[in-house]
């Protein structure tokens, strides 16, 4: 039972790690989409394609107006593509969902992760400290013990 419970706890901890990574990804997507939405050039639809289309439309209008004047026809008008602005709340669900998943993943990792094993890195220092504690305890025991006659 204990081994199965330990495996279950480790599995839940791994799921928590997955949720942490997924939450971080969703928050990053929110931040990236928020940055792209706030860009002033994109708000004004000043992308390269839009500028090129606008220049072509102006050139076509001017050329058409010149031909129409020669023939006594009405001048053409410009028809630019409609602008599509994203509202500030378009990507808010990414932030909310990402935050909830982050909290859930953190809770799962914190509650079910097995304790980390002792590292071998400072094992020699721990042994020296243990020996000094034992020697100190031995000296204290000798001081408290009555002298033998």
Tens digit of each residue's pLDDT (9 = 90 or more) over 68-88: 778 887 766 655 555 555 666
Which two tokens mark 124?
Answer: 């020699």
By percentage, how much of the chain surpasses pLDDT 90? 28
Length of the chain: 149
pLDDT at 131: 94
pTM: 0.49
Q: Which is more confident, 52 or 131?
A: 131
Give 45's contacts (C-beta < 8 A, 6+ positions apart). Answer: 81, 83
Q: Residue 52, Cβ neighbours under 10 Å: how many?
A: 10
Alpha helices in 39-76 (DSSP H): 40-43, 48-71
Which two tokens mark 2?
Answer: 């204990």
> So where are the chain's domains?
2-114
| Nearest-angstrom CA–CA distance, 89 and 91 | 6
Confidence band (pLDDT; 50, 70, 90) for 31? confident
pLDDT at 48: 72
| Nearest-angstrom CA–CA distance, 7 and 114 | 10
Q: Which is more confident, 113 or 74?
A: 113
pLDDT digits 0-9 by tens, 11-30: 999 999 999 999 999 999 98
């Amino acid at each position: 039972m204990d081994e199965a419970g330990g495996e279950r706890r480790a599995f839940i901890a791994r799921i928590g790690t997955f949720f942490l990574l997924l939450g971080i990804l969703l928050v990053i997507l929110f931040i990236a989409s928020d940055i792209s939405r706030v860009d002033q050039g994109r708000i004004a639809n000043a992308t390269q394609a839009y500028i090129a289309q606008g220049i072509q439309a102006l050139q076509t209008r001017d050329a058409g107006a010149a031909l129409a004047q020669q023939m006594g026809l009405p001048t053409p008008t410009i028809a630019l593509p409609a602008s599509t602005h994203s509202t500030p709340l378009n990507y808010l669900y990414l932030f909310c969902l990402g935050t909830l998943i982050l909290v859930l993943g953190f809770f799962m990792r914190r509650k079910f992760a097995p304790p980390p094993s002792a590292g071998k890195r400072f094992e020699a220092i721990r042994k020296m400290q243990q020996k000094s504690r034992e020697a100190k305890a031995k000296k204290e025991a000798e001081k408290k013990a009555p002298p033998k006659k």
